[in-house]
Structure 1
Amino acid sequence: MTESSADMNTAVSPWWGVAAVMVGIFLLVTAEQLPIGLLSQVAEALDVTPGTAGLMVTVPGVIAAFSAPLLPVAVGELDRRVMLTLMMLLMVAASVLSALAGSFWLLLGARALVGMSIGGFWAIAGGLAPRLVAADKVPRAMTVIFGGIAAASVLGVPLGTLLGEWTHWRVAFAALGGLSLATAAALWRWLPDLPPREPVRLATLGEQLATRGVRVAVMTTGLLVIGQFAAYTFISPVLQQISGVERAHVGSLLLLYGTAGILGNVAAGLFAGRHPYTAVLLIPCVLVAVVGGFPLVGTMPATGIALLLVWGAVFGSVAVSLQTWLLRTAPNTEAANALMAFVFNFSIGTGALFGGRLVDGVGLAGTLWAATALFVASALLVISTPSRLLDKAPSAAG
C-alpha cells in the first residue's frame, strides 16, 4: 500500500472499521442461515426432502469449521485487512453461483465456498476489537461487531426470506452477492493495516486448549450451538406443525426473533463485560426451558410466538458472552478465536445434520427434546467451572 493510502486509512475513525467488520459478519451469518428461512421453498424447487435440504446449512458450517483454523495458518504473515477483504470477495462469488445453480448438488458446491468465506473471516474478525479501539472501548466494539450476528437474524435472514417468498429464492442469494461486494470495498477503505502480531501456527492452536478457561468456552460453545441448530434449522416446520402458524407468517416471525436477538446482544454486551460467568451460565438454563417447552406449551400460535421471542433474545447473547469469556482466559486471542470459530461453525453443521436426521426419523418434538439435553449438558459444564478463571481484564494479544 502506498504512503498516501496509508495516511488516508489512518485518518478514518476506527469505528468505521468496526462498522465494516460488523456488516461483514452480518452478511456472512445471513448467508449461512438464509436457507433456514427458504428451506421449504428450495426443497420443493429442487425436489429434495427437508432433511436433505438441511445440508445447505451443514455443508458451509463444516467447511467454515476447518477453514477457521487452517486459513490463518496458510496465509501466515498476510495482512489481516487483505484477508478480510478477500473473504468477502469469495462470498460474492459464492452468492452468484448459488443464485445460478441448476441442481441441489451444484448449490451445495456453492455453499462450500460460503463456508470458506465464513471460516476465514470469522477467525480474524472475532478478535479484532482490541486492535481497533482503545481498551476501555473494547466491550462496546465487541457489542457492535457481534451485533452483526443478531442483525442477521433480525434483518438478513427474515428479509432474505421475505424477498425469496415475494420473488424467488435465487433473487435472495443474488442480493447477498451485491451487498458483499460493497462490504469488501468498505473493509478495504476503512480498516487500517493489520499485520499479524503473532502468526497463527498449528501448534499455537493446540496450546490454547491447555488453558482450562479456553477448553470450557470451546466445549460450551459446541454443546450450545449443536443444540441450537439441531432445533432452529427446522424452525419453519416447527412453527407450522407444532404451533399452527401459517407458512406465510414465518418470515415475519423470524423478523421478530431477530429483533429479540438484537436486544439480547445489547443486554449481553452491557452485562457480560462485568459478569461473563453468569452471562454464559444463564444461556443454556433459559434455552432448556424454551426449547424443551415448545412441544408442551408452544402448541398454539400465541404461545409458540412467545417462546420464539425468548429464544431469540437468549441466543442473541451467545456470541458476545462467550467471546468475553474467551478474551478473559485465552493466552493468544487470534489463535483462540480461530479455534472457537472452528468449533462454532462445525457445531452449526453438525447440529443441522443431527437435527435433519432426527426430524426425518423421530419427528420435530423429539428433535427439540434432543437439543434440550445438549443445553442441560452445557449448563452442567459451566456450573462445574470455577468463576475465578475469568478474573482478569480482556486480552489484546494475538
Structure 2
Amino acid sequence: MPLAILALAIGAFGIGTTEFVILGLLPEVAADYGVSIPTAGHLVSGYAVGVLLGAPLMTALGTKIPRKRMLMALMGLFIVGNLVSALAPVFGLMLTGRVIASLTHGAFFGIGAVVAAELVAPHKKAGAIAMMFTGLTLANVIGVPLGTYIGQTAGWRVTFVLVAALGVVGLLGVAKLVPDLPRPEGVRLRHELTALRDPQVLLAMAMTVLGFGGVFAAITYIAPMMTETAGFADSSVTWLLVLFGVGMVGGNLVGGRFADRALMPMLLVSLGALALVLALFTVTAHHKAAAAVTVTLVGALGFATVPPLQKRVLDHAQGAPTLASAVNIGAFNLGNALAAWLGGLTISAGLGYTSPNWVGALLALAALVLALVSALLERRTGAPSRTVAGSVRGTPASDEPADPAARAAVRG
C-alpha cells in the first residue's frame, strides 16, 4: 500500500480518538463545568450532528479545491476545534469546539476514501479504504483508552491538547506523502448531487444508518450494561472497550479483504451475523466471559460492514463519488445518534440495560433486509459500473491507477 494511505490513517486515528474519547471523560468534563451528565452528553450528540451536517457542507465547499489541499484544510480545522475544546473556559465554548472538530469528520473520511481508492489498482480499492479506516479502528484500541487514562489522571484538557497534536502529525503527513491528485475533469457539485439520487447509493446509505446504528445501540450503554448486569468493576470498562476496538480492527481488515472478492456476500453475511450476535448479547451480557467475547464480536461484525458499504457507494456514484462518500460517513453518525436515542428510550421505559441490544438486533436485521433488496435490484438492472472512483467514465480498467501521480505513489 502507498505511504499516502498511512498519512490518511494517521488523520483517521486522530479523528476517531476525539470522537470516542469523550465517552470515557464525561464525568470529568461534567464536574469541571458543573453540569449534569445528561447535559455533558450533548458533547456526544453535538459531535454526531456536526458530522452529519458537515459532511455535505465541507465536501461541497471542496468541489473546487484539489483533494490534497482540502484534506490539509480539514486537518487544520480539526486542530483548531480540539484546541478550542481544550482551552474552553465555559461549557458552551467546549461544545462549540466539539462541533468545529466534527465538521471535518465526514469530509475527511469521504474524500480520504476516494483518494485511497485512486492510489491503488481497481481490484485493491476496498483494501485501500480498509487500510485508511484502520486508523479509526486503532483509535478505539489505543487512542481512546490511552486518552481516557490521561484525562482521568492528568486532566481531560490534556487529552484534547494531545489529540490536537495528532492532528498536526496528520496534517504534516498529508502534506508530505499524499500526491497532488487533480480534481476529475468535468465534475461539479451538480454531478456530485446527482449521485445521491441513485437508488443503490441511497440503499447503501440506509444500510449504513441501520447496520452501524445496531452496533452503537449496544456500545453506547456498554458501561452500565457491563457493570450492572455482567458484574464487572468500573475499571474493567476500559479493557472491554479495548476488546471492542480489537474486534473493530479485525473486522475492518477482513471486510476490506473479502469485499474486493465478493462484496455483497460479505455484506449479507456480516449483517446477518451482527443481528444474531446482538440478539444473543441480551443473554451473554449476564456472564462475564461470554460478555467479553460478545463485545469483541460486535466490534468485528460491525466494522466488517464498513469497507463494503463505502466501496458500494463509490461503485454506484457514477464518476462523482466524493459527496456521496462523505454523506455516507455522515450516515454512520446519524445511525449512532438514532440508535443511542432508541436504546435510551428502552432503558427509560424500565426494560433494563440489556434492552438496547434488542434495538441493535432489529436495526441490523432491517439493514440485512435492505441489503437483500439491493442485491435483487442489482440482479434485475445489471452489474454496477466498474468506473474507477473519481475517474472519467469510459476509461479502460487496468491494474494501475489512471492518474500519473497516483501511479508514481503506488510504484514509490
Q: Do they fold alike, i.e. is TM over 0.5?
A: yes
Q: How does 1:102-251 map to 2 (within 5 A)?
A: 102-197=89-184, 203-251=190-238
2:339 to 330, 335, 351: 351
Question: Separation in 2 of the partners of 1:76 and 1:26?
Answer: 25
Question: Separation in 2 of the partners of 1:48 and 1:358?
Answer: 24
1:396 maps onto 2:384 in alignment: no
Q: What's the counterpart of residue 270 of structure 1?
A: 257
Question: Separation in 2 of the partners of 1:114 and 1:47?
Answer: 23
Q: 1:358 offset after TM fit, Å?
A: 4.7
Greater mean deviation of Cα atoms: 245-254 or 381-390? 381-390
Q: What's the counterpart of residue 310 of structure 2?
A: 323
Question: Separation in 2 of the partners of 1:50 and 1:187?
Answer: 37
- CA deviations on 1:168-199 (whole Å, 9 max, x unpaired) are 22222121011111211111111111332157
Count of matched residue pairs? 385
The AA in structure 1 aligned to 2:331 is V
- CA deviations on 1:39-94 (whole Å, 9 max, x unpaired) are 34434444444444332221112111121112222233212111111111111111
Question: Separation in 2 of the partners of 1:75 and 1:209?
Answer: 17
The AA in structure 2 aligned to 1:146 is F
Question: Separation in 1 of the partners of 2:232 and 2:186?
Answer: 50
Question: Quick check: 2:63–2:189 contact (8 Å CA) kept in 1?
Answer: no
Gaps of 5+ in 1: 1-13
Structure 1 residues 176 and 328: CA distance shift in structure 2, 3 A: same
Q: What's the counterpart of residue 373 of structure 1?
A: 362
Question: Quick check: 1:279–1:321 contact (8 Å CA) kept in 2?
Answer: yes
Question: Quick check: 1:276–1:390 contact (8 Å CA) kept in 2?
Answer: no
Q: What's the counterpart of residue 336 of structure 1?
A: 324
Give the percent of matched residue pairs that are identical in Structure 1 and Structure 2: 30
Greater mean deviation of Cα atoms: 273-282 or 342-351? 342-351
Structure 1 residues 261 and 277: CA distance shift in structure 2, 3 A: same
Greater mean deviation of Cα atoms: 192-201 or 216-225? 192-201
2:9 to 5, 17, 22: 22
Gaps of 5+ in 2: 392-412
Question: Quick check: 1:269–1:321 contact (8 Å CA) kept in 2?
Answer: yes
Structure 1 residues 213 and 321: CA distance shift in structure 2, 3 A: same
1:85 maps onto 2:72 in alignment: yes
Q: 1:309 offset after TM fit, Å?
A: 1.0
RMSD between aligned residues: 2.4
Greater mean deviation of Cα atoms: 345-354 or 119-128? 345-354
SS in 1 for 2:230: coil
- CA deviations on 1:86-134 (whole Å, 9 max, x unpaired) are 1111111111222223343332111101111213312311211232233
- CA deviations on 1:242-261 (whole Å, 9 max, x unpaired) are 21111112112211221121
Question: Quick check: 1:164–1:172 contact (8 Å CA) kept in 2?
Answer: yes
Question: Separation in 2 of the partners of 1:175 and 1:351?
Answer: 30
2:373 to 381, 384, 388: 384
Question: Quick check: 1:159–1:255 contact (8 Å CA) kept in 2?
Answer: no
TM-score (norm. length: structure 1): 0.88
